[in-house]
């Protein structure tokens, strides 16, 4: 099967991390999130992928090219204006001659795509929808199914008194090409609100594929940070740090737990890096600084005796000495935090800002 990856959104909920980049190009273990998604598809023998793009398409096109460097064939469709999830698929109709897979670009999952495809064929479904349980289904599309997992009803972003199940649309579909006849050309159209209700009204074979496998969307900085914690804890289960190239590590520095360190980093005297944590290439951690549970992108500098805990720092940021950046704070690209400042309570700083020494304390 071919796969279509929906990658057109602006990622507004992920700001300030998505101000200067397509959100699915944000790094996970120092590689773009989208590259991990392609690894997932390849694992299930999907090697022909179509990207539907809107926001900052050149970032994806220039990084992946024709896909040869990541082992897949990639085609691109750039939308002049948003077409919605279904409209984007209609726009790709000329590429589709058999059943195909649709994946939201902003998810990370272990859902068994191969098993889902097998059941799709057995059920002779027009569409199969991956379903995943969540603690709070109200921000998502809830999907009600019967005992055979045939879909009975969709409910988009229900209130708590409307919730009848915690199984939500996981953003992975397997579709028969006949579904394209339900979608008009060059029109904003969504599966959830426009296509799936029509299929149910006609009694079409629409099935859910429930799975307890790991799944998350990367909609907010908090989810992005949690994904790092989850993945680092799983992939570096032996708790040994991983170094991606040559770095300068002072003998007195301590690196504890699952930590990934990019190439060309400097980690100074008496500093502490406590995982799960990720440092992008070219980061400089000065004497006695402490970084715990945090994600730093490329070329960040952390001054003497600064403390970072459970925060996300985008590229080219400078945190001066004796600062504290704590608990779900997020800095966009090229931010400078002056000496002695303390940020906590989920403060977000947009790109290219400079906070003077001792100017704020939250």
Closest of 173, 169, 174 to residue 133, by C-alpha? 169
Q: In the predicted model, what is the mean pLDDT of the chain?
A: 92
pTM equals: 0.91
| Alpha carbons 4 and 25: distance in angstroms, whole number | 17
How far, in Å, CA of 220 to CA of 139, rounded? 12
In this predicted structure, the answer to whether residue 240 has a pLDDT above a threshold of 90 is no
Model pLDDT for residues 308-359, shown as the tens digit of each residue? 999 999 999 999 999 999 999 999 999 999 999 999 888 999 999 888 876 6
**Residue 307 pLDDT level (bands cut at 50, 70, 90):** very high
Looking up tokens 């690209």, which residue turns up?
333
Rounded Cα distance between 235 and 111, Å, is 17
CA distances from residue 303 to 103, 236, 354 in whole angstroms, order as listed:
41, 27, 15
- Average pLDDT (47-56) is 92
């Amino acid at each position: 099967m071919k796969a279509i990856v929906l990658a057109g959104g602006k990622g507004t909920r992920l700001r300030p991390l998505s101000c200067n980049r397509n959100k699915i190009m944000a790094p996970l273990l120092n590689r773009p999130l989208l590259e991990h998604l392609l690894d997932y598809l390849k694992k299930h023998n999907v090697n022909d992928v179509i990207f539907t793009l809107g926001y900052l398409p050149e970032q994806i096109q220039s990084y992946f090219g024709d896909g040869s460097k990541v082992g897949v064939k990639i085609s691109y469709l750039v939308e002049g204006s948003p077409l919605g999830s279904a409209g984007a698929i209609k726009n790709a109709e000329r590429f589709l001659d058999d059943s195909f897979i649709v994946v939201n670009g902003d998810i990370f999952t272990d859902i068994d795509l191969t098993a889902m495809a097998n059941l799709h064929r057995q059920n002779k479904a027009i569409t199969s929808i991956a379903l995943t349980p969540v603690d709070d289904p109200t921000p998502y599309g809830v999907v009600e199914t019967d005992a055979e997992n045939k879909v009975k009803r969709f409910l988009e972003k229900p209130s708590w008194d409307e919730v009848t199940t915690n199984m939500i649309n996981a953003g992975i579909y397997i579709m028969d090409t006949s579904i394209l006849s339900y979608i008009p050309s060059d029109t904003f159209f969504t599966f959830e609100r426009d296509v799936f209700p029509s299929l149910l009204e006609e009694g079409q074979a629409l099935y859910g594929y429930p799975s307890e496998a790991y799944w998350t969307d990367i909609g907010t900085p908090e989810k992005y940070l949690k994904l790092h914690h989850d993945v680092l804890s799983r992939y570096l289960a032996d708790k040994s740090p991983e170094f991606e190239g040559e770095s300068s590590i002072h003998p007195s520095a301590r690196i504890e737990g699952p930590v990934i360190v990019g190439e060309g980093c400097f980690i100074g005297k008496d500093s502490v890096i406590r995982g799960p944590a990720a440092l992008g290439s070219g980061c400089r951690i000065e004497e006695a600084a402490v970084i715990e549970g945090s994600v730093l992108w490329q070329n960040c500098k952390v001054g003497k005796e600064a403390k970072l805990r459970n925060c996300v720092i985008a590229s080219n940021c400078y945190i001066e000495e004796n600062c504290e950046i704590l608990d779900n704070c997020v800095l966009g690209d090229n931010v400078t935090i002056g000496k002695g400042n303390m940020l906590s309570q989920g403060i977000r700083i947009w790109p290219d800002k400079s906070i003077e020494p001792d100017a704020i304390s939250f």
